[in-house]
């Protein structure tokens, strides 16, 4: 059975709804002058398992479904949703949102089925990909293998999460499209103690794949090893330096720099409204010519990938910055229409109960020509940051932060002492202009990213090669 029929059968049929009911709701919404209208049906099955103190402590399971209806007129949006997928309820919701439309062109309702896009992940159900017993055996094995690694380990926590999401999107431009989106995530956290000093290490990964992803090359056990390695490094860390200095960022997850420093600032809504530090900078230099940055929702099985976005648009690989020049914004339908450009497949929403807006997918920098060791060698005094926690940006002032969780001093071209975690702060439109070397070692992150915007969380990916930034403020305590 194709995806569309499969999703219709699991979202509409159990609640006694049919395709003609969707037509009726759409007709009702389009009885006023609207530029755009859509109905978003979603069903999400979620489970989590957690191990702590050597035992499977708890698990949880969740089933949620619902539908959101939206009418857009000019730059005005009316929105309502319900967790009851019933014709009468959704007609009432449609009636409520119509009030927003007082102007705009009359859109045509002409529902037809399209399924014309590539697929970047399989429509599998991760929750069924292992028996429950196999899931907890996996957690136990990770616990046992991790504890063997070091006798200073005080605590090991392991978690496993799986999501099976189905969406069905009808809109007035004549399409009814569906997507089945698997998502899995695993995490290992360890606490080590030595001479009264305690440190934590944490590593995880995930993908739009089923649980076999964690068994492949024994990734799950590798997460444990990596968590222990990080905790040991932290046990030896000295105070981080404070002040402006040369910073080398390692490959992979440090790409959170791109997400915070430029990614959010290049989302269409902020630029249409002129609230971003990057507003009106299209075609201008915002990075050194070594930098080419893309947002790519089409990577096979990645956490940030989507076959179609939450407005039914196929995802794309969008060039944001090419050789240092700002080339493109990320768009949803509303902002693309108002800015007179094409949508880029970046219209995303946390769930049926949230409005879509332009969001990142997988954001990364293309590789350059330098060997990473050359980059380190070129630094007389600076910081090498290998791993990070979260970040944040003020899109208007352009100021952004991201917090290093594993970092080292660079002295005379060599990596020396590890230093305690520290926040790095910079200015988005400026930081990439200071990139003076880009490595040939592009890596994407392990699949752990979650991005928050206006209270909505969505899974994302980041990546980059090793890069050298000539001057970034490091927030240590050692003044």
Partner 1 sequence: MQNKEEINRLKNLVQDLLDESKKQGATSAEAGLSVDNGLSVTARLGEVETIEHHCDQGLGITVYIGKKKGSANTNDLSPNSIKETVKAACSIASFSNEDEFSGLPDKDSLAVEFPDLDRNHPWNLDAETAINLAVECEDSARSFDKEINNSEGATINSHQGIRVLGNSLGFLQGYQSTRHSMSCSVLGERDGEMQRDYWYSVSRKAEKLESATEIGTKAAERTIKRLGARSLSTRQCPVLYSSEVASGLIGSLIGAISGGSLYRKSSFLLDALGTKILPEFIHIHEQPHLKMALGSSVYDAEGVSTIARDIVKEGVLQGYVLSSYSARKLGMKNTGNAGGVHNLTVDSSTNDFFAMLKQLDTGLLVTELMGSGVNGVTGDYSRGASGFWVESGQIQYPVEEITIAGNLKDMYKNIVSVGNDVDYRGNIRTGSILIEQMAVAG
| Footprint of partner 1 on 391-450 (CB under 8 A) | 391-394, 396-397, 399-403, 420-423, 425-427
How far apart are CB 198 and partner 1 at their closest, in Å? 6
Complex with partner 1: residue 119 or 450, whichever CB lies closer = 450
Q: Find the part of the chain contacting partner 1 (CB under 8 A) among 284-292, 363-371, 437-445, 469-477.
A: 469-477
Q: Kindly tell me the sign of the dihedral angle through the C-alpha atoms of 101, 105, 106, 109.
A: negative
Residues 293-352 contacting partner 1, CB under 8 A = none
Residue closer to partner 1 (CB basis): 157 or 220 = 157
- Tell me how far, at minimum, the Cβ of 33 lies from partner 1, in Å: 16
Per-residue string for binding with partner 1, 37-76, x by CB under 8 A? ------------x--x--xxxxxxxxxxxx--------xx
Q: Residue 397 CB, nearest distance to partner 1 (Å)?
A: 6
Which residue's CB is nearer to partner 1, number 113 or number 140?
A: 140
d(CA 325, CA 287): 7
Cite the DSSP H helix spans in 17-114: 19-29, 87-98
Q: How many residues bind partner 1 (CB under 8 A)?
A: 76
Task: For residue 193, state whether it binds partner 1 (rule: CB under 8 A).
Answer: yes
CB of 29 closer than 8 Å to CB of 37: yes
| 182 neighbors 8 (Cβ within 8 angstroms) | no
| Smallest distance from partner 1 to CB 201, Å | 10
Six-digit token string for 416: 């020396």
Interface with partner 1, residue 200, by CB under 8 A: yes
Q: Are 445 and 461 in contact (CB under 8 A)?
A: yes
Among 21, 199, 295, 443, binds partner 1 (CB under 8 A): 199
Name the token pair of 339: 């800015």
Beta bridge partners of 361: none
Residue 238: CB minimum distance to partner 1, A: 12
Contacts of 418 (CB under 8 A, 6+ apart): 233, 234, 236, 237, 238, 406, 407, 408
Compare residues 240 and 293 and give the one whose CB is closer to partner 1.
Answer: 240
Which helix (H) or strand (E) segment holds residue 170: the answer is strand 153-171
Work out how close the CB of 88 gets to partner 1 at its nearest, in angstroms, rounded to a whole number.
Answer: 14
Strands 242-249 and 467-475: antiparallel
Residue choice 111, 124, 242, 282 for contact with partner 1 (CB under 8 A): 242
Beta carbon nearer to partner 1, 193 or 374: 193
Closest by CA position to 76, among listed 41, 39, 34: 34
Among 3, 6, 96, 433, binds partner 1 (CB under 8 A): 96
Nearest to 157 by CA among 57, 233, 226: 57
Nearer to partner 1, 72 or 291 (CB): 72
Q: Which residue stretches of 30-131 are H helix?
A: 87-98
């Amino acid at each position: 059975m194709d995806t569309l029929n499969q999703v219709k059968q699991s979202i509409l049929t159990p609640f006694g709804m049919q395709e003609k009911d969707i037509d009726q709701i759409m007709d009702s919404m389009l009885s006023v002058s609207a530029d755009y209208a859509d109905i978003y049906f979603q069903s999400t099955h979620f489970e989590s398992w957690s191990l702590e103190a050597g035992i499977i402590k708890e698990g949880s399971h969740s089933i949620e479904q619902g539908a959101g209806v939206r009418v857009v007129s000019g730059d005005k949006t009316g929105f309502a949703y319900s967790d009851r997928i019933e014709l009468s309820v959704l007609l009432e919701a449609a009636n409520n949102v119509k009030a927003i439309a007082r102007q705009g062109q009359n859109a045509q309702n002409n529902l037809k089925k399209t399924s014309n896009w590539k697929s970047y992940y399989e429509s599998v159900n991760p929750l069924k990909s292992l028996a429950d017993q196999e899931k907890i055996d996996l957690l136990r094995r990770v616990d046992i293998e991790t504890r063997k690694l070091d006798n200073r380990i005080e605590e090991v926590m392991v978690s496993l999460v799986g999501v099976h999401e189905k969406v069905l999107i009808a809109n007035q431009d004549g399409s009814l499209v569906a997507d089945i989106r698997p998502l899995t995530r695993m995490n290992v956290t360890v606490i080590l103690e030595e001479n009264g000093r305690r440190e934590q290490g944490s590593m995880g990964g995930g993908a739009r794949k089923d649980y076999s992803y964690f068994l492949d090359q024994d990734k799950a056990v590798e997460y444990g090893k990596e968590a222990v390695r990080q905790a040991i490094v932290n046990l030896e860390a000295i105070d981080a330096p404070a002040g402006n200095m040369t910073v080398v960022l390692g490959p992979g997850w440090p790409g959170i720099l791109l997400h915070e420093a430029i990614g959010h600032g290049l989302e269409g809504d902020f630029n249409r409204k002129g609230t971003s530090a990057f507003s009106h900078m299209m075609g201008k230099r915002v990075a050194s010519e070594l930098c080419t940055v893309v947002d790519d929702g089409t990577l096979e099985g990645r956490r940030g990938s989507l076959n179609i976005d939450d407005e039914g648009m196929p995802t794309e690989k969008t060039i944001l910055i090419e050789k240092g020049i700002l080339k493109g914004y990320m768009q949803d339908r509303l902002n693309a229409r108002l800015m007179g450009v094409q949508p880029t497949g970046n219209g995303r929403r946390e769930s049926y109960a949230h409005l879509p807006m332009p969001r990142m997918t997988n954001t990364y920098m293309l590789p350059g020509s330098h060997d990473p060791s050359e980059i380190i060698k070129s630094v007389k005094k600076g910081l090498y940051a290998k791993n990070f926690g979260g970040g944040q940006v003020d899109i208007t002032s352009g100021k952004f932060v991201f917090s290093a969780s594993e970092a080292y001093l660079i002295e005379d071209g060599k990596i020396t002492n590890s230093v305690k975690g520290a926040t790095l702060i910079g200015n988005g439109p400026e930081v990439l202009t200071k990139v003076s070397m880009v490595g040939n070692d592009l890596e994407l992150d392990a699949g752990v990213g979650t991005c928050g915007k206006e209270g909505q969380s969505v899974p994302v990916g980041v990546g980059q090669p090793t890069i050298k930034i000539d001057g970034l403020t490091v927030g240590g305590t050692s003044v």
